[in-house]
Amino acid sequence: MTSTTPSTGIAGWSVLVTGGGSGIGLATAERFAADGAHVTICGRTEQKLLEARERIAAVASGGAKVQSVVADVTVEEQVAAAVAATAEVTGRIDGLFACAGGSLHLGSVLTADIDAVRATIDLNLTGSVICVKQGGLAMQAQGGPGSMVLMSSGAGRFPHPHLWAYGVSKAGICFLAETAAEELGPLGIRVNAVAPGIIADELMAFITAGGPLLEDYLAQMPLGRVGTVEDVASAVRYLIGPESSFVTGETLGVDGGHHLRRGADYSLLFGG
């Protein structure tokens, strides 16, 4: 297969970032735009997206365009619309970072709120499946190539007590990246994932503010520090771009070496 992907850089690419209104998604969208890519962000809250769009536009280079679309990743029609909006900018979609996700359940498996478990799996895993499907269909229709990066987690690679529902959904994303990469590779479409550890963003603020759980995290990390959203953005930028053109089906840990030890014990939040 002959690739038309530029040999270096992503300037002029059109990319979609789900969950791009805050945290890791926003930082990655800023990184893409700073490197000259046209960026479309999507999320469920319009005002948050509008504020994020201003931040991204402020660092965009080379005439990169920035737009936002309100979309819930668990609703396939809305994801399809976000993909289509991304492709409208240049006539194609070159990259997709499926970042949207979260945890809606915390606690023992023996006392599990099954509705919360289902919601967590739906948001993280089903939402990622929808993104791969819709992004992959658009990339196939344009004749390739394309690159997708999914958001997993260290919790999906090794156990974190009481965070198991989130971990189960994120483990599924690792396998989704492998399965999709195997199927879509002949189409010139690469699929990889990142697995962050503890990151200083608004979602993790209740941990990074300090306390026993943060201390437990740091004790299990060889590098001994909390990660930044820019740490993850740099990893995603590598995986989305042509610099990683011979890499697919991989999950890249961005966790300060946390995966070399044990997972953080979330029962500490309950005095465990």
Per-residue pLDDT, 270:
84
Smallest Cα–Cα separation from 138: which of 80, 97, 181, 99?
Answer: 80
**What is the number of H-type helices and E-type strands within the chain?**
9, 7
DSSP state of 160: -
Strand 95-98 relative to strand 66-70, pairing = unpaired
Region 254-270: mean pLDDT is 95
pLDDT above 70 covers a percentage of the chain that reads 97
pTM of the complete model: 0.95
The answer on pLDDT for 2 being more than 70 is: no
- How open is the CA angle 191-38-179, to the nearest 5 degrees? 10
Look at residue 8 and tell me whether its pLDDT is greater than 80. Answer: no
- Whether 201 and 228 have beta carbons less than 8 Å apart is answered as no
Q: State both tokens at 270.
A: 């309950």
Amino acid, single-letter form, for residue 47 = Q
d(C-alpha 191, C-alpha 184), whole Å? 8
- Angstrom distance (rounded) from CA 149 to CA 78: 19
Q: Which tokens belong to 63? A: 């005439």
Catalytic residue among 166, 217, 238, 266: 166
Kindly list the distances between the CA atom of residue 140 and the CA atoms of 132, 191, 212, in Å, as whole numbers in the listed order.
11, 13, 48
Q: Is residue 5 pLDDT above 50, yes or no?
A: no
Top-tier CATH class for 14-258: alpha beta
Query: Could you tell me which residues come within 8 angstroms of residue 140 by beta carbon, excluding any fewer than 6 positions away?
Result: 184, 187, 189
| Whether residue 161 has a cis bond before it, omega within 30° of 0 | no
CA–CA separation, 216 vs 65, rounded Å?
Answer: 42
Tell me what the pLDDT averaged over the chain comes to: 96
Q: What is the DSSP letter of 262?
A: P
Confidence band of 4 (pLDDT split at 50, 70, 90): very low
Is residue 166 annotated as part of the catalytic site, yes or no? yes
Q: What is the pLDDT of residue 243?
A: 97
Give tens-digit pLDDT for 64-112: 999 999 999 999 999 999 999 999 999 999 999 999 999 999 999 999 9
Q: Where are the domains of the chain?
A: 14-258
**Which of 272, 260, 188 minimizes the C-alpha distance to 224?**
260
Q: Show the tokens assigned to 110.
A: 């023996």
pLDDT at 1: 38
Q: Tell me what the mean pLDDT of segment 35-50 comes to.
A: 98
